[in-house]
Chain A
Amino acid sequence: MLAAEYEMSVENGELQRQGLARRLVRWSRLGPALFGALMLGACASATSDGVADVNDPIEPVNRAIFAVNDVLDQVVLRPVSYVYKEAVPDPIRDAVRNFLRWLKSPVTLANDVMQGDWDHAKVTSARFVVNGALFGIVDAADGLGLPYREEDFGQTLGVHGVSEGAFLMLPLLGPSNVRDTAGLVVDYFIDPFTYLGERDFRRPFGIGRRVVQAVDFRAENFDRIDDLRNDSIDFYAKVRSIYRQQRKAAVNNGIIPIDESTPDLSEEFDRHLPTPEAGAPLSSSGG
C-alpha cells in the first residue's frame, strides 16, 4: 500500500469533503494559528546533518507501519491493481482517473485561492466547468491548454513558508509528514464531497473513492513501483527520499528555480561538491 500511496499526496489530494464558502473562510482564518501550533515540535528538530538530514525522528515506528503497508500492498492492493490494469480497457481506466481528478477540483481551487495563485484558480475553475459537461470523465480541458495540476493544503502551508516537519508513515495512506498530514485533515473538511448527499451515501462514497484512487494509482504505476521495490536495497529510505523531493517540487508547482543568487532546490549538491582531485587514489573513468 505504501508503495501505491507514496506519491498520492502529489498525484491525488486525498481526503476530500465539502468546502462551502463560509466554511472555507472560517478554516482559512483558523488555519495559521492551528497549524502554527502543530508545526512547532516538528520544525525544531531540523539541523544540517546526520539523522536530521532525513528528518525522521520516529523512524522505527515509521518503518514498522511501512512494513505493514507493504504486506497489505503485496497481498491486496497489488493483485487487485493487476486485475484492474489487465481486465479493464484503457479508455475506461482513463475515464475513472479523469473523474477522480475532477472530484478534486474544489479542493484544488480552494488551495489555489489560499495560495493567492489566481492564474491557477482560473485554470482549475475552467477545467471544472469544461469537464463538468460529462461529469469529469473526459478531460477535454487538457486539449484546450488547461493541464491538470493538483493543489492541497500541505502545499498551501509550504507556499506560506511552513516547513515539512517530521517525516511520517501513515497506515494505509503511505508517506507523509507533519505538515502534509495536517493538510489532509484540512482538505477533508473543505471538500464539498465530504458533505454531499444523504448520510447513507456519503460514507460508502468517501471510502469507495479512496479505494479506487489507490487502485488507480497502483495500476498506473504498476511496473515502476514493482521495480522500485525489487531494485532497492532499502526500500523505505528510497520512498522517504522520493516523497520528500516530490513534495518540495509540488510546493514549487514543479518549477525548479535556478539562478546564481538563490541556492537551487537540491542544496545537497551545493553542500557536498565532490572533488575528484582530492582523495582520488583511483584512475577515473569519468575523467
Chain B
Amino acid sequence: MAGLRAFALIIFAAVFVVSDARAGSEGERAEAFIDTLSAQAIALVSDQEMKPDAKREGFAKLLNEGFDMRWIGQFVLGRNWNLATPEQRAEYLDLFEKIIVFTYSKRFNDYSGQQIQVTGHEKGNRKYVFVRSRIFDPKRSGSSINVMWRMLPKGESFKIVDVVIEGVSMGISQRNEYNSVIQRNGGKIAALIEAMRENLANLQTDS
C-alpha cells in the first residue's frame, strides 16, 4: 500500500515536471524543479517496502537526473582534472558517484519525516540559478536547516551542481578534502583514487 502510494507520487511528480517545464519564469521553474526532486527523494526514502538495493539504485537514478555528476566531479577535482589521464578520470568519476550513493544510502533509515520547503530563488553569477529552501522536522520546533541549491539551466530543465547547507558547500568541502589528499601525496592523482577505493570499500562493508 505504502509502495503503491509512493509510486503514484513519483508518477504525479513526473507529470508535474513535464507540464510545468513550459510555464513560469526560470526562477519559478527552478523552484518547481527542487520541489519535484525532493518529493521524489522523500517518496523513495520513506518507502517501507522497497529493498535496500533497489532503494540505492533508485537513489542513484535520481542523483543522475537531478545533479550534473560529471560537472560536480570535475569541479571537486579542480585543476587536477587537467592532469588526470582519461583512465583516471573515468575511474575517479565512477568512484565519486558510488561514494556519494553509498554515503547517503546508509542514512536512509534515519529518515523520520523531515520536510523540505522551497523559500525562494535568485539569479547568480554566470548562468547559476539558486533556489533557497529549508529542511525541517514538523515534530520538532527550532529544527530548521537552510539549504541552498546551486543549479545550471539545461534546456528547459536544470541540473544541480552544488548544495549549500547552512553556508557550507558540499562541493567546496569535498574539493578541499580531495585536493589536500593529492597535495600531501606529492601531487599524485593515483593516491587520491587509491584512497577513494578504500573509502568505497569501507562504505560498502558498512551497508
Report how far A60 CA is from B183 CA in the complex, Å. Answer: 13
Tell me the nearest residue of chain A to B180, going by C-beta: A237
Any chain A CB within 8 A of the CB of B150? yes
Q: By the criterion CB–CB under 8 Å, are B167 and A248 in contact?
A: yes
Given contact pairs A237-B177, A269-B162, A274 touches B168 in the complex (Cβ within 8 A): no
Give 1 or 0 for each of A190-220: 1 = CB within 8 Å of chain B CB. 0000000000000000000000000000000
Give 1 or 0 for each of A249-264: 1 = CB within 8 Å of chain B CB. 1101010101110011
Q: By the criterion CB–CB under 8 Å, are A282 and B196 in contact?
A: no
Any chain A CB within 8 A of the CB of B39? no
For the complex formed, measure the closest distance between the CB of B150 and the CB atoms of chain A, giving whole angstroms. 7
Q: By the criterion CB–CB under 8 Å, are B167 and A249 in contact?
A: yes
Q: By the criterion CB–CB under 8 Å, are A250 and B177 in contact?
A: no
Q: By the criterion CB–CB under 8 Å, are B177 and A241 in contact?
A: yes
Q: By the criterion CB–CB under 8 Å, are A231 and B141 in contact?
A: no
Give 1 or 0 for each of B161-185: 1 = CB within 8 Å of chain A CB. 1101011110111011111110110
Give 1 or 0 for each of A216-243: 1 = CB within 8 Å of chain B CB. 0000000100010011111011101110
> How many A-B residue pairs lie within 8 Å, measured between CB atoms?
138
Any chain B CB within 8 A of the CB of A273? yes
Q: By the criterion CB–CB under 8 Å, are A274 and B177 in contact?
A: no
Within 8 Å by CB of B90, from A223, A237, A265, A282, lies A282
Within 8 Å by CB of B176, from A241, A264, A282, lies A241
Report how far A242 CA is from B166 CA in the complex, Å. Answer: 10
Q: By the criterion CB–CB under 8 Å, are A282 and B162 in contact?
A: no
Any chain B CB within 8 A of the CB of A139? yes
Give 1 or 0 for each of A113-148: 1 = CB within 8 Å of chain B CB. 000000000000000000000000001001100011
For the complex formed, measure the closest distance between the CB of A239 and the CB atoms of chain B, giving whole angstroms. 9
Main secondary structure of the interface of B (DSSP, over half): helix
Given contact pairs A234-B184, A285-B70, A286-B67, A268 touches B125 in the complex (Cβ within 8 A): no
Q: By the criterion CB–CB under 8 Å, are B164 and A256 in contact?
A: yes
Report how far A189 CA is from B151 CA in the complex, Å. Answer: 45
Any chain A CB within 8 A of the CB of B123? yes
Tell me the nearest residue of chain B to A262, going by C-beta: B125
Per the 8 Å Cβ criterion, residues 36-56 of B in contact with A are none
Report how far A187 CA is from B180 CA in the complex, Å. Answer: 33
Per the 8 Å Cβ criterion, residues 56-88 of B in contact with A are 64, 67-72, 74-75, 78-79, 81-82, 86
Q: By the criterion CB–CB under 8 Å, are B180 and A279 in contact?
A: no
Interface size on A, residues (CB 8 A): 51
Report how far A245 CA is from B165 CA in the complex, Å. Answer: 10
Report how far A260 CA is from B177 CA in the complex, Å. Answer: 29
Any chain A CB within 8 A of the CB of B146? yes
Q: By the criterion CB–CB under 8 Å, are B199 and A276 in contact?
A: no
Report how far A234 CA is from B195 CA in the complex, Å. Answer: 9
Report how far A260 CA is from B126 CA in the complex, Å. Answer: 8
Interface residues on chain B, size class: 35 or more
Q: By the criterion CB–CB under 8 Å, are B78 and A286 in contact?
A: no
Q: By the criterion CB–CB under 8 Å, are A268 and B175 in contact?
A: yes
Given contact pairs A274-B75, A282-B86, A249 touches B180 in the complex (Cβ within 8 A): no
Report how far A54 CA is from B148 CA in the complex, Å. Answer: 23
29 contacts between A and B (CB under 8 A): A53-B179, A230-B202, A233-B177, A233-B196, A236-B180, A237-B179, A242-B168, A242-B173, A250-B167, A256-B164, A258-B123, A258-B125, A264-B124, A264-B125, A264-B128, A268-B172, A269-B75, A269-B125, A269-B128, A272-B79, A274-B74, A276-B70, A276-B71, A281-B89, A282-B70, A282-B93, A286-B68, A286-B69, A286-B70
- Besides A234-B180, A234-B181, A234-B184, 19 more A-B contacts (Cβ < 8 Å) are A139-B142, A223-B110, A233-B195, A233-B198, A238-B176, A238-B177, A245-B167, A249-B166, A249-B167, A260-B123, A264-B124, A264-B128, A266-B150, A270-B125, A270-B126, A272-B75, A274-B74, A282-B89, A282-B93
Q: Which residues of A contact B (CB under 8 A)?
A: 51, 53-54, 139, 142-143, 147-148, 223, 227, 230-234, 236-238, 240-242, 245-246, 248-250, 252, 254, 256, 258-260, 263-266, 268-270, 272-274, 276, 279-282, 284-287
Q: Which residues of B contact A (CB under 8 A)?
A: 64, 67-72, 74-75, 78-79, 81-82, 86, 89-90, 93, 97, 103, 107, 110, 122-126, 128, 130, 141-142, 146, 148, 150, 154, 159, 161-162, 164, 166-169, 171-173, 175-181, 183-184, 192, 195-196, 198-199, 202-203
3 interchain residue pairs of minimum CB distance: A249-B167, A237-B180, A241-B176
